[in-house]
Copies of this chain bind each other. A is one copy, B any other.
């Protein structure tokens, strides 16, 4: 739980009191997931959101041809889940599985809503997270509709150098909405550009 406590303090630029943190801890359920295990399957209701203490998950859809489209990587200090399904109890279109052995903290929607009411710092945390999420998603949407595959990969490498090391090329291509072959060509081109001495 210390990881979560540090995360709350850091995100809200504040110090969560012991009493508030006791309420938060009580609402969360520790959960372990082994690599390749599913957290959610398309068609099911997403009953919990998961805070990632350790490990990595991916959120994805599978199209009619069986291709996976990765919506999100969830790593340490990120939340994963399908917000619409979690809020409205509708079947989710998403699969979520573990890319590494993972330690999670789960929360249901009623418990989260109660915490928001009871603990002002949690309301503040939710507001900050939603803001960050909106800004990140807006950037990604902007890139998806207006940048070339090469520009998208370059921005991805700058924003997420850790993801480049952590996840396979096939997954990164899926996340960027390009084919693995295109990503491979882009990487070759970029490595040639880097290898060329400047001024030549």
Contacts and interface: CB of A to CB of B under 8 A. Distances in A.
Interface string A3-17: 000000000000000
B126 A137 contact: no
Interface string A128-158: 0011011101101110111100000000000
Given A69-B145, A123-B123, A137 B135 contact: no
Given A141-B140, A145-B144, A131 B177 contact: no
A61 B145 CA distance: 10
B137 A134 contact: yes
A83 interface: yes
A145 B177 contact: yes
| Copies of this chain in its oligomeric complex | 2
Interface residues of A, number: 30
A36 interface: no
B71 A131 contact: no
B83 A131 contact: yes
A189 B56 CA distance: 43
Contacts of A71: 138, 141-142, 145
A63 B137 contact: no
A142 B69 contact: yes
Contacts of A144: 141, 144-145, 177
A87 interface: yes
A133 B144 CA distance: 17
Nearest to A177: B145
A35 interface: no
Nearest to A85: B135
A83 B131 CA distance: 8
